[in-house]
Amino acid sequence: MKTNDLILQTTTKVVVFIILLFAVYIFFAGHYTPGGGFVGGLLTSGAIVLLLLAFDLKTLQNFLPFNYIYMIAIGLLFSIGTGAGSLLFNVPFLTHAFTHIDLPILGDLSLHTATLFDLGVFLVVVGVTMTIIQTIGGDE
Amino acid sequence: MINFLLLPILIPLMTGVLLIFFPKHIKWQRWIAGIFSFITIIVSTMLVQKVKTDGIQTLDVSSWDAPFGITLVSDMLSALLVLTTSIVAFACLLFSFRSIGEEREKFYYYPCYSFLIVGVNGAFTTGDIFNLFVFFEVMLMASYALMVLGGTKIQLRETIKYLLVNVISSALFVITVAYLYSVVGTLNMAHISERISEVGQPGIITVIAILFLIVFGLKGAIFPLFFWLPDSYYAPPVPVMALFGALLTKVGVYSIMRTYTLFFYHDTGYTHQILAILAILSIIFGVIGAIAYWDIKKIIIYNIIIAVGAILFGVSAMTPDALTGSVFYLIHDMLIKAALFLLVGVMIAISGTSNLKDISGLIKRYPGLAWTFFISALALAGIPPLSGFVGKLLIIKGGFEAEQYWGAAIVLMSSLLILFSIMKIFINGFWGTPRAYEGEEKVPVKTLMIAPVVLVTISVFYGVGSEVIFPYISQAAETLVNPEIYIEAVLKER
C-alpha cells in the first residue's frame, strides 16, 4: 500500500531551494565568516538527501543524472590544479593569489584562488556523501 | 624548480585522480599507472642527487615561513626512502598486472594503489608533525581499501581487525600530538626540536616520547604491539601483501627514527633503554614465529618483525655507527622483503597452496625461481657480499660501542635463526621429489618473475656496491646524529 506523502513532497520542493541557497551562501561566505567548502558541501548533499527521502532513488537519478564518483575526481582535480598552478610561476606549491575587481552591479569584489580550492573541497564532499548514501541505499 | 621535492608526492596523486575517470578500461589503467610510477622513480633518483649535491631541500608550502606554515623537508634519509618506495611500488605494480585479476582491477585497484604511494612518500617527506598524521591517514585509508578489495571472507575478517587497531592508534596519535602541542606550542618538527632543547626534556616530554613509541610501535609492529600484523598481512593478495610488508611498517620505523633522533635525544637513559628492550623482544618473538610456522607467507611475515627489531635496536644505541647501520638495513629490508613476498607469491601461484608441507621439488622445473629465492634468502640473513651484511654489521658494532652487549649478541644470533627459517622454505619447497600441481601450466611464471628478479638484482648491487652507496647513507645518518643540521636547514634565518 502506498502512503500519501503529498505534504512531504510539496514541502520538499519548496524547502530544497532554500537549503541550496543557504549552502551557496555558506560556501561563498567562508573567507570572512564561518562556513566554507566543507559545510557548504554537506548542506548541499543534505538537500539532495531530503529529495531522496521525499521521492525515490530512481526519480532522483533522473532528476540529477550525476556520476558522483566523477564528481569526487573533478573536485580533486580542482584542488590539486589550484595548488599545482603555482608550479608554473615557480613559487611554492599551494601559494594563492588574489585580486580586486570592480564590477558594475556587484561592486568591489576580491577574487581569491582559494575559492577554487574550496570549490574542489565542495565537490569532493558532495560526491563522497552522495556516493556513500546512494551505494548503501541502492543495494537491492 | 623549488617545488622539486614535491613531485614524488604530486605525481602519484595526479595519477590516482586521473585513474578514477575510467575504471573499466584496464589496459589504460595499467599503462598510465605503470608509466607514472616509472617517472616517479626517475624523479626521486634526481631528488637524491640534488640532496647529495645541494644539501637538505626544504619547501615552505604556500609561501608561509618555516614554523608557521607546513614545511616539506627532504634530507638524505627521506630522499633515499622515497626512492626505495618508488622502486618497490613499481615492482609490485608490475607483479599486479599479471596476478591481481580483472575483477579487482575494475574496482579502483590502481587509484587506491597510487594513493597509498602518496601517503608513504608524503609521510617520508613531511616536516610537520600533524601533516605526518594526515599522510599516515592517507596511507592507511588506501591500505584499508586495498586490503578489503575483493571481499573474500578472510579479507573481511582481517580488515576489521586491522581497521580497529589503526583507528585506535590514530586516535592515540592525535592525543599525543595534542599533548606535545600544549607543551611546546608548535607543530613544525624543527621548531619542536628547538623548543624541547630549550626546556631540556622534563618529565612530561619523556611521557610524550613513550606515547609516540606506542603510536608508531602499533603502526610499525614492535613487541608487544605486533599482535595484529601476522593475521592481517596474511589476508590480502600477494602484490598488496608485498607492498604492505615492504612499506607500511617501515613508515612507523621511520617515524620512530625521526622523533627519537630529532625530538627526544636529551634524556636517552629512559626512553632509549625501553626502545632497546622492546626491539630485542621484537627480534626474539619474531624469530620464534618465523621458526614455528610451516606456512611460507607466515614465515616471511614474522621476518618483518625481526627486521623492525634490528633496525630499532640500532636507533636505540644512538651511536653514529649504529644509526648508519639502521639506515642501511632499513633500505635493504624494504627491497628484500618486497622481493621475498613476490617470490613466495610465485611459489603459491604455482603450487596453489602456502603450506610448505604440500610443496616440494620446485627446483627441477623452476631453477630461475629457486636460485633467485636462494640469493634473496642469503641477502636476508646477511651473508657478506650481499645487502643485509653491512647494515647488520654496523648495527652490531654500534651496539657493542654503546655497551649493549646482550642486545648486539641477540641481533647476531638472530641472523642464524633467520637463515634457518628461510632455508626451511628453500630445502623443503625446492629440494625433494618434484610434484605435479593443478593448473600450474596456466601460471605465467616468466612474466611474474620480472619484478622479483629486478628487486633482487637491485639489492645485490646495493650489497656489492656498498662502497658507492655508503656516502649517501652516511649523509643520511649524519642528520640523525646531528639534529642541528636539520633544524638549521628548516629554520633558515636564525
The one-letter code for the residue type at B271 is T
Q: Which of A135, A133, A136, A140 is nearest to A49 (CA)?
A: A133
Residue A56 maps to a domain: yes
Buried b (16+ CB within 10 A) or exposed e, B220-252: bbbbebbebbbebbbbbbbbbbbbbbbbbbbbb
| The total number of structural domains that make up chain A | 1
Calpha distance A39→A126 (Å, rounded): 10
**A127 found inside a domain:** yes
In a domain, A78, yes or no: yes
With 0-12 CB in 10 A as exposed, 13-18 as middle and 19+ as buried, what is B8? buried
> Identity (one letter) of the amino acid at B170?
S
Rounded to whole angstroms, the Cα distance separating B153 from B220 reads: 25
pLDDT digits (tens, 9 = 90+) for B174-233: 999 999 999 999 999 999 999 999 988 888 999 999 999 999 999 999 988 999 999 999
Residue among B17, B59, B61 whose CB faces A76 most closely: B17
A80 chain-B contacts, CB cut-off 8 A: 10, 13-14, 17
Distance CA B324, CA B85 (A): 19
Decide if pLDDT at A140 tops 70. Answer: no
Asked whether the predicted pLDDT for residue B493 surpasses 70, the reply is: no
Q: How many CB atoms lie within 10 A of CB B137?
A: 16
CB contact under 8 A, A77 and B17: yes
How far does the CA of residue B19 sit from the closest CA of chain A (Å)? Answer: 9
Is the CB of B63 less than 8 angstroms away from the CB of A91?
A: yes
Q: What is the mean pLDDT of residues A73-92?
A: 90
CA distances from B375 to B269, B287, B429 (A): 40, 20, 15
- CB contact under 8 Å between A72 and B2, yes or no, is no
Q: Note the pLDDT tens digit of each residue in A14-70.
A: 999 999 999 999 999 888 899 899 999 999 999 999 999 998 888 888 888 888 999
- A80 found inside a domain: yes
Cβ–Cβ below 8 Å for B13 and A80: yes
* Dist. CA A121–CA A8, nearest whole Å: 31
Q: Which three cell numbers stand for residue B303?
A: 621476518
A57 falls within a domain: yes
Chain B residue with minimal CA distance to A76? B17
A105, B74 contact by CB (below 8 A)? no
Q: Can you give the residue range of the structural domain that contains A45? A: 6-138
Peptide bond into B385 cis (omega under 30): no
Looking only at the bridges linking them, the beta strands covering A98-103 and A107-112 are: antiparallel
A92·B17 Cβ contact <8 A: no
- Asked if B20 lies within 8 A of A86 by C-beta distance, the reply is no
Contact B20 A72 (CB under 8 A): yes
The cell for A103 is 564590477
Residue A46: inside a domain: yes
Q: Which of B54, B73, B117, B136 is nearest to B262 (CA)?
A: B73
Radius of gyration of chain B (CA): 21
| pLDDT at site A90 | 85
Chain B contacts in chain A segment 69-98 (CB below 8 A): 69-70, 72-73, 76-77, 80, 84, 86-87, 90-96
Strand partners, A101: A109
A contacts of B60 (beta carbons < 8 Å): 92
B1: number of CA atoms within 13 Å, CB side? 14
Q: Say what the ipTM of the complex is.
A: 0.91
- Interface subset of B 1-20, CB within 8 angstroms of A: 1-3, 6, 10, 13-14, 17-18, 20
Would you say the pTM of this structure is higher than 0.80? yes
Quickly count: other Cβ atoms within 10 Å of residue B382's Cβ: 26
| pLDDT score recorded for residue A119 | 93
Minimal CA separation from B479 to chain A, in Å: 24
For B58, name the nearest residue in chain A, comparing CA atoms only: A92
How much is the average pLDDT of B117-139? 95
Mean pLDDT of chain B: 92
Q: Is residue A85 part of a domain?
A: yes
Q: Of B141, B4, B17, B142, which is closest to residue B72 (Cα–Cα)? A: B4
Q: Contact A73/B20, CB-based, under 8 Å? A: yes
Q: Do B21 and A73 touch (CB under 8 A)?
A: yes
Report which of B220, B219, B210, B305 is spatially closest to residue B260, judged by C-alpha positions: B210
For residue A60, the 8-state DSSP code is: H
Q: Looking at chain A, which residue has its C-alpha nearest residue B60?
A: A92
DSSP state of B366: -
Q: Does B433 touch chain A (CB under 8 A)?
A: no
Cα–Cα distances (Å) from A16 to A23, A49, A62, in that order, read 10, 10, 17
Residue A1 lies in a domain: no
The Cα–Cα gap between B404 and B290 comes to: 25
**φ/ψ of residue A111, rounded to 5:** -100, 130
